Structure 1
């Protein structure tokens, strides 16, 4: 593909507008810092916060858009991996900004990852199964791939939420426990990625009669010996351009995240909201674009892509966020509380069991999606009631 055509295709007005908006918002906040310093009137605080959140969401949509284009070029599971790692990066940035900001935030990682888990496994998957099940009668996940995801999720979620309360101190790992947990978690996740993108790649592609939906673009499929690395070679300029645009779009999110989290804490404190609200809002902001992508995949009948987006995102989130926050805790001396309470553990266990039942059958259906949505509603009651 000629480079000028590629750049015209990549640098659309919308694609350019998103990073320009992000960088413009950052510069505005930077130059307006003296006027915004100190306690702001509540209406002004919420207006500033709403503006920052809106810009972050717009930029997040830009990141997801570029990741989706890369997904179509790279095929499954590489494409979805780019998307889920992009989303995970945004979440880690926001959580780290909270931890490194003013005030005590010992439970922010627990609250955020727990909220992400319930949002992905119940709200997003429930909505996707409901929408896809009402449109399609034969949605068949690749059970080998889903089983691999759930195996890792079971272990990672136990490490994140159950084990610290049993072997740690005051709901968190001690320094001596945190180091091996970090190393073993990263090694497990790395080994999973190695298998997912290598020998077990077919486990994460759509179950179809013909060519997998998750294979690279149709124009590439007929070329023997091309392989997953051949597609980037044929479209290097487009892939490089989209990758650069993705990075340029995600950087304003990083720069705005510190200001957002500080004002979010202030606003929620004035509103008397529960402590876990910050984590829930971060999770909802981060996964809004991917939620829309997942529902679109379900409406298109790509149920394994739904699993790749949701289960893969959660594996990446837990597998990388927990080591990241534990590392920050060790380096800064902050307390990192991960242990979840009885109600949270019960809901999480029920969610994992329901997920296993849902995806172990030959087909997934709309009533199963409704059951996942009910569990998410119960989680909301446990947080805000």
Structure 2
């Protein structure tokens, strides 16, 4: 009971009540589009406020788990909890009524540009300004980047070349799903086992971190109650964020439509909100000089997003007879290629500085320009 009281604090309880109360109150026919302008703006402001409160709670629990489990395990808990919930929601939309042939492509593309450029760029900028330069663990970051080059190419580029109207044929789906699942599973096994050291910080310990990594199995055995309670609290605090972001999609589409904004902007804003907890945690890590944790959170999240979402929607499409359009536009493929090339250049450098962060933010600004063109 003492462990429960120390983890489920009054602040954590308040965040849970606020988050789940908002899911109940702000969902349903009351705010069904089209809504009156004052109600629309008020609802959006309330949702964003609740999401911010919950996001800081998620970041708090994630940091406790990271300190207890160490990387890459601590970062994986946060990454997989958010990504798995996102995959379930995208799959639910595909299984629902309506035409959603491009939802996976649009969602994952938005996540890729946000993570590779907006979040990473901000982290490198603030981290570089505070610490002058940072040294990532290049063995780990290059493993992420190798995965991203292959997975992103399979997801967005190859279907434009060999697919049928931007979608893989049934035979191609089987091969692509098998390759993606096997590659992602192999990566996770290596990351959590023999190559775990590649995903830890290099240099002197930060903020009193242990000088020698302790076996995660031993840590869980010794602190099982704390780890389970914090992981459970993290998940139930993340879930309202994801549910609210998707519940407000129709309202956001309605509001952006009234001001003449492009439809794709709604997907970008929702993706930013879904990954807000991870973004907050990444910026905090950058301010402490933990550049490898930034990579674990950001690049690990994108590897998991592509590695889990694309196979899931392809299998659903094959079983339900839906066409899953994955091929991206030439402009988005160009920006994605530039983002990957810039990421490789940045994270294979011996020292990463604020200049690298500024270049990533510039690419994200160009992506914003492309959205409105």
TM-score (norm 2): 0.91
Q: Give the conservation status (yes or no) of the 8 Å contact 2:122–2:357.
A: yes
What is aligned with 2:100? 105
Query: 324, 328, 342: which is aligned to 2:312?
Result: 324
* Distance in 2 (alpha carbons) for counterparts of 1:37 and 1:291: 29
- 2:169 is equivalent to residue 174 of structure 1: yes
Distance change in 2, residues 1:325/1:130 (3 Å): same
* Distance in 2 (alpha carbons) for counterparts of 1:254 and 1:304: 26
Q: Give the conservation status (yes or no) of the 8 Å contact 1:98–1:262.
A: no
* DSSP 3-state at the match of 1:105: coil
Distance change in 2, residues 1:38/1:319 (3 Å): closer
What is aligned with 1:291? 279
Moved more, 316-325 or 187-196: 316-325
Query: 69, 82, 88: which is aligned to 1:87?
Result: 82
* Distance in 1 (alpha carbons) for counterparts of 2:5 and 2:269: 36
Q: Give the conservation status (yes or no) of the 8 Å contact 1:92–1:324.
A: yes
Per the TM alignment, residue 102 of structure 1 is displaced from its structure 2 partner at its CA by: 5.0
Distance change in 2, residues 1:268/1:330 (3 Å): farther
What is aligned with 1:47? 42
The correspondence of residues 70-85 of structure 1 with structure 2, limited to 5 A, is: 70-85=65-80
The correspondence of residues 105-254 of structure 1 with structure 2, limited to 5 A, is: 105-209=100-204, 218=210, 227-253=215-241
What is aligned with 1:282? 270
* Distance in 2 (alpha carbons) for counterparts of 1:313 and 1:7: 29
* DSSP 3-state at the match of 1:141: coil
* Distance in 2 (alpha carbons) for counterparts of 1:74 and 1:153: 25
- 2:5 is equivalent to residue 8 of structure 1: yes
The correspondence of residues 27-46 of structure 1 with structure 2, limited to 5 A, is: 27-29=24-26, 33=28, 35-36=30-31, 39-46=34-41
Q: Give the conservation status (yes or no) of the 8 Å contact 1:25–1:55.
A: yes
* Distance in 2 (alpha carbons) for counterparts of 1:367 and 1:29: 42
* DSSP 3-state at the match of 1:171: coil
* DSSP 3-state at the match of 2:248: helix
Pairs aligned (count): 373
Is there any run of 5+ residues in structure 2 with no aligned partner, and where? none
Query: 300, 306, 314: which is aligned to 2:302?
Result: 314
What is aligned with 2:348? 360
Q: Give the conservation status (yes or no) of the 8 Å contact 2:35–2:251.
A: no
Distance change in 2, residues 1:303/1:29 (3 Å): closer
Cα RMSD for the two superposed structures: 2.5
Q: Give the conservation status (yes or no) of the 8 Å contact 1:68–1:83.
A: no
Q: Give the conservation status (yes or no) of the 8 Å contact 2:130–2:287.
A: yes
Per the TM alignment, residue 258 of structure 1 is displaced from its structure 2 partner at its CA by: 5.1
* Distance in 1 (alpha carbons) for counterparts of 2:56 and 2:316: 28
Q: Give the conservation status (yes or no) of the 8 Å contact 1:97–1:257.
A: no
* 1:81-104: CA deviation from partner (whole Å, max 9, x where unpaired): 111112213432443454455543
Distance change in 2, residues 1:58/1:187 (3 Å): farther
Moved more, 77-86 or 53-62: 53-62
Per the TM alignment, residue 246 of structure 1 is displaced from its structure 2 partner at its CA by: 2.3
Per the TM alignment, residue 323 of structure 1 is displaced from its structure 2 partner at its CA by: 1.5
* DSSP 3-state at the match of 1:76: coil
Per the TM alignment, residue 254 of structure 1 is displaced from its structure 2 partner at its CA by: 5.6
* DSSP 3-state at the match of 1:337: coil
Q: Give the conservation status (yes or no) of the 8 Å contact 1:119–1:376.
A: yes
Per the TM alignment, residue 113 of structure 1 is displaced from its structure 2 partner at its CA by: 1.2
* Distance in 2 (alpha carbons) for counterparts of 1:207 and 1:24: 43
Q: Give the conservation status (yes or no) of the 8 Å contact 1:26–1:256.
A: yes
* DSSP 3-state at the match of 1:118: helix
Q: Give the conservation status (yes or no) of the 8 Å contact 1:98–1:261.
A: no
Per the TM alignment, residue 109 of structure 1 is displaced from its structure 2 partner at its CA by: 1.7
* Distance in 2 (alpha carbons) for counterparts of 1:35 and 1:79: 39
Q: Give the conservation status (yes or no) of the 8 Å contact 1:196–1:204.
A: yes
What is aligned with 1:260? 248
